[in-house]
Amino acid sequence: MSTPSLQRVVITGMGAISALGIGAEALWQGLREGRSGIGPLRHPDADRLKLKIAAQVPADFDPAANIDERTVPLLDRTSEFALHAASEAIGQSGIDFGQSALGLRTAVVVGTGVGGETTQDEQSRRLYAENAQRTHPLTIVRLMTNASASQISIAHGLRGPTFAVASACASANHAIIQAAQMIRYGMVDAAVTGGTEACLTYGAMRAWEAMRVLADDTCRPFSANRRGLVLGEGAGIFVLESLEHARARGATILAELAGSGMSADATDIVMPSAEGSSAAMRQALADAGLAPQDVDYINAHGTGTQANDVTETKAIRLAFGAHADRLAVSSTKSMHGHALGASGALELVAVIGALRDGVVPPTANLDQVDPACDLDYVPNVAREMPVRAAISNSFAFGGLNAVLALKRAP
């Protein structure tokens, strides 16, 4: 019995909402300009928090725009972000699922690290601070982790496998990998996938304060004077298709999702392992059929914490050997913040832009050399250079690693 050939997977649509603006192009233009979306925290309880900065979606974002008015009351902020990004991605792809049997063979897989935290926070406040006797009747449908995936499915008539993925800061990459694998093995022809997060609630921010990993000035990945991560929010959603399907309908292809790698450190719940993350990078290269020297750019996890940045530097050297010194590496979290389960999706927009436009976005705020972080981190200013292939790293608390490998559009 012959083994069926695997389908190649391509990206034909992308959408985003982030601290750099509404839309994937707004995000990409901000990144290539080296412009930071980090600013003073806007929150009703800001005076009760030590945290004073965040990477927040613009204040003029209209959550009800382009969403059926009957759906709006059902949505947590996480789902609002996801629906907006999904509509943009599907619009760019040119697929009208409502007029196509393709909806039966389209998956929806969305990652989120926290889920409906805004709803959880609001209803907990009602119960414990205001002594309310009941919560809002739509609490469960707003806060459940799969809400964003389900709402995208309903909004666009997508009836294939639909589910959520939760693996902290690796959630988006894990979701994208699961969606791509279903296409590769012929389970579906297309997928709507990515990540979303709205984690800037009072309870969540106080919890992050307690971990003592937050910066108080800005996010400075790989810089000697880095002081920690900056929390962000937003969503990135993509349309994936088999190459065969995309070509048959004459789609514009943004990039090829050529491979992926996943691993677990199995060492510590918060301390990263260079061996674990390098294993995921090596797997992604092998899965994509790439040699280390084929890769020109790495979008790093690069959170700006002391432990993460040094460990990731070591991991890249372990995975790429001598070629590590010839890689362009940058952390775009310096501009869109650390959006937890959405981060990998926002960073995929950066990788697609680098492949498409031949521009590597910079690591903003990198103003002091750290001898322990000794790679080419593209400091402060974007670099024009050909990018044939790139990888995107996401590493999560719990020791969970998910790496995407991409090539230029075929």
Q: Of these residues, 169, 199, 219, 373, which one is catalytic?
A: 169
Q: What crossing angle do the helices spanning 24-32 and 343-357 adopt, rounded to 10°?
A: 70
2: Cβ contacts below 8 Å, ≥ 6 apart: none
Alpha-carbon gap, residue 294 to 276, rounded angstroms: 22
Token code pair at residue 333: 């979290």
Strand partners, 394: 402
Find the helix or strand (DSSP H, E) in which 359 lies: strand 359-360
φ and ψ at 219, to 5 degrees? -95, 120
Tell which residue, 188, 67, 77, 182, has the closest CA to residue 122. Answer: 77
Q: Of these residues, 84, 174, 245, 301, which one is catalytic?
A: 301
Identify whether the C-beta of residue 130 lies closer than 8 Å to the C-beta of residue 362: no
Alpha-carbon gap, residue 392 to 406, rounded angstroms: 8
> Is residue 245 among the annotated active site residues?
no
> Is residue 338 among the annotated active site residues?
yes
Alpha-carbon gap, residue 48 to 366, rounded angstroms: 30
Strand partners, 390: 297, 406
> Is residue 84 among the annotated active site residues?
no
203: Cβ contacts below 8 Å, ≥ 6 apart: 117, 120, 121, 124
Catalytically annotated residues: 169, 301, 338
